Amino acid sequence: MKNKDNKQNSKILINGSYSILLTVLLLAGLIIVNLIVNHLPVKVTQFDFSNEKLYTLTDITTGILKNLDQDVELYYICEGGKEDDTIQKLLDRYESASSHIKVEQIDPALYPGFTSKYTQEDVANNSVIAVSGDVSKVVNADSMYVESMNYNTYSYVKTGFDGEGMITSAVDYVTAKDIPNLYILSGNGETALGSAFGDVISKDNVNPLTLNLMTTDKVPEDADAILINTPTVDYSEEEAQKIIDYLEDGGKAIIFSNYTVEDMPNFDSILANYGVEREKGIILEGDSDKYMSYQYCLVPDISYSAITENVYGNGSVLAPMSQGILTSDSHRDSITYQPLLTTSDASYSKEDVENMTTSEKEKGDKSGPFTIGMLIQEDTNNDDEADTEIVYYSTGYLLESNYNQAVSGSNAQLLGGTVNYLCNGEKTSAAVQTKSLQVKYLTLTDRAANIWTAICVFTLPLLFIIAGLAVWASRRKR
């Protein structure tokens, strides 16, 4: 009887030992798994289910973080319990993406004097301060959200989230070697830049300055580039010569022009100095897959380059009322041309715009394709590197806000890529687009719109009718 009890006790002891061992192994396994998970990137352990991927980093940001070679502190200024979930998760992604990024939350209630080291202004909850060495930049919480007036309720509503755009720009700013100057010409009826276009320049940490050539002897020596945006009054010979002198001395320029009835010989002389002229008239597109709504609203082909990399393959640009860009066969051998935007073979140019009676191609209309965006380079020192660089777009309507909205901001991204290329060279653009909190525009060419109209208006109803007749016929046979 005792032997039987001993065996039973031994069996219970063994089973109990196994249970304890399994429990210990399970706990050890859970601890190990937890340690592993804690060391995994946030993008693996936290999923972004927001429609616009609000806290998923774009390729622009990941590229900048990948190239970081100095440490950056991101101080998240926020009282405990008042955190913005989107901003907090976004900051986690930054820290996870680079070993040079460290995020630390600072409670201003516990450390009231902390922000005074970086700014004398009030810093609201959910703001971020980027710091690298002695350089800092404050990203206010208000600047990370875009608000618009709702005219139904007469109150402001959040329509966009720009947290990534502002934080990436701040990281780029505190690690930049210098801040370039972009002089924007004025005094000849030039068009002012809209807010979306000013934002991309600001995000690329380029300093925009105004320049009136009537009141200065020359383009300032600290100019990294100049921007000429559709002057409506021709420059004087002296003003045009100041621009030419600047360019011939290795300057860089972004030039936009619009079709005008009046000749502008002095403005055109700037382009002519580099073997370039404007085709008279405007371009209409004959390929319905290459225009939007109207034949003059061109959707050009985009050639890949450092200028266009942010829009190439990621969307379309809209270039209404463009003129063809012509190059002279007798230009200097030191000058080279690189097309950036081109129309299709079916495009054509109408010269007599004022007396145009039809949008159809007529006898005498010049046939495409046409270049409407071009990089012009000249190597004046014979060292195989461009000294003078001009990016010329033959329509200023690229910079109109409504056309930019129609292509979800791609036109602004094109300007950002252009400014960044001329002012920052090969440095990656830091201009991340604002992420919309509203329904995005559906960009459709005229052909695509016609196809979808036919499907929705004719094809789908016809299929329903056929299916209904088939069901009706099968029931009658029963």
Q: Are residues 209 and 154 in the same domain?
A: no
- Surface-to-core class of residue 405, CB atoms within 10 Å of its CB (0-12 exposed, 13-18 middle, 19+ buried): middle
Asked if residue 203 belongs to a domain, the reply is yes
Query: What is the end-to-end Cα distance of the chain in Å, rounded?
Result: 81
Q: Are residues 240 and 274 in the same domain?
A: yes
pLDDT band with cut points at 50, 70 and 90 for residue 452: low
- Distance, in Å, from the CA atom of 159 to the CA atom of 150, rounded to the nearest integer, reads 10
Q: Are residues 198 and 113 in the same domain?
A: no
- Surface-to-core class of residue 176, CB atoms within 10 Å of its CB (0-12 exposed, 13-18 middle, 19+ buried): middle
Please give the pLDDT value at position 33: 58
Q: Are residues 158 and 286 in the same domain?
A: no
Asked if residue 194 belongs to a domain, the reply is yes
Question: What residues are paired with 320 via a beta bridge?
Answer: 297
In sequence order, the 6+-apart residues with CB closer than 8 A to the CB of 426 are 306
Please give the pLDDT value at position 45: 46
Asked if residue 402 belongs to a domain, the reply is yes
Asked if residue 135 belongs to a domain, the reply is yes
Q: Are residues 297 and 398 in the same domain?
A: yes
CATH number at residue 394: 3.40.50.880
Asked if residue 143 belongs to a domain, the reply is yes
Q: Inform me whether the pLDDT recorded for 287 exceeds 50.
A: yes
Asked if residues 469 and 191 have their Cβ atoms less than 8 Å apart, the reply is no
pLDDT band with cut points at 50, 70 and 90 for residue 327: very high
Please give the pLDDT value at position 275: 97
Q: What is the largest CA-CA distance in the chain?
A: 122
- Distance, in Å, from the CA atom of 276 to the CA atom of 170, rounded to the nearest integer, reads 39
Q: Highest mean pLDDT range out of 1-5, 87-91, 146-150, 457-461?
A: 87-91
Q: What is the mean pLDDT of the chain?
A: 86
Asked if residue 363 belongs to a domain, the reply is yes
Please give the pLDDT value at position 135: 95
Q: pLDDT by residue (tens digit) across 190-211?
A: 999 988 899 999 999 999 999 9
Mean pLDDT for 432-447 is 67
Asked if residues 160 and 437 have their Cβ atoms less than 8 Å apart, the reply is yes
Q: Which of 110, 135, 163 is the endpoint of a domain?
A: 163
Q: Are residues 407 and 453 in the same domain?
A: no
- Distance, in Å, from the CA atom of 321 to the CA atom of 281, rounded to the nearest integer, reads 9
List for the chain the helix, strand, coil content (%; round to 5): 35, 20, 40
Dihedral sign computed on CA atoms, order 243, 248, 250, 252: positive
Q: Are residues 229 and 262 in the same domain?
A: yes
Asked if residue 43 belongs to a domain, the reply is no
pTM score, whole prediction: 0.79
Asked if residue 294 belongs to a domain, the reply is yes
Q: Are residues 187 and 159 in the same domain?
A: no
Q: Are residues 427 and 450 in the same domain?
A: no
Range of the domain at 469: 444-478
Q: Are residues 220 and 279 in the same domain?
A: yes
Q: Which of 6-15, 26-35, 166-175, 206-215 has the lowest average pLDDT?
A: 6-15
Please give the pLDDT value at position 353: 86
CATH number at residue 124: 3.40.30.10
Q: Residues of the chain with pLDDT > 90: what percent?
A: 63
Q: Inform me whether the pLDDT recorded for 322 exceeds 70.
A: yes
Q: Inform me whether the pLDDT recorded for 451 exceeds 80.
A: no
351: tokens are 């010269």
Please give the pLDDT value at position 391: 98
Please give the pLDDT value at position 44: 45
Q: Are residues 157 and 228 in the same domain?
A: no
Q: pLDDT by residue (tens digit) across 288-300?
A: 899 998 999 999 9
Q: pLDDT by residue (tens digit) across 30-64?
A: 666 555 544 444 454 454 545 567 778 998 999 99
Nearest alpha carbon to residue 85 among 114, 55, 116, 47? 55
If one compares 472 and 317, the residue with the highest pLDDT of the two is 317
DSSP code for 363: T
Q: Inform me whether the pLDDT recorded for 446 exceeds 70.
A: no
Q: Which of 181-185, 194-198, 222-226 has the lowest average pLDDT?
A: 194-198
Q: Which of 163, 188, 220 is the endpoint of a domain?
A: 163
Please give the pLDDT value at position 40: 45
Q: Inform me whether the pLDDT recorded for 183 exceeds 60.
A: yes
In sequence order, the 6+-apart residues with CB closer than 8 A to the CB of 307 are 340, 375, 391, 414, 417, 418, 421
Does the N-terminal peptide bond of residue 231 adopt cis geometry, omega within 30 degrees of 0?
no
Q: Inform me whether the pLDDT recorded for 151 exceeds 70.
A: no
Please give the pLDDT value at position 470: 72
Mean pLDDT for 12-16 is 58
Q: How many domains does the chain fold into?
A: 3
Please give the pLDDT value at position 450: 66
pLDDT band with cut points at 50, 70 and 90 for residue 386: low
Neighbour count for residue 214 (Cβ, 10 Å): 12
SS3 165: helix
Q: Are residues 248 and 110 in the same domain?
A: no
Q: Which of 129, 163, 197 is the endpoint of a domain?
A: 163
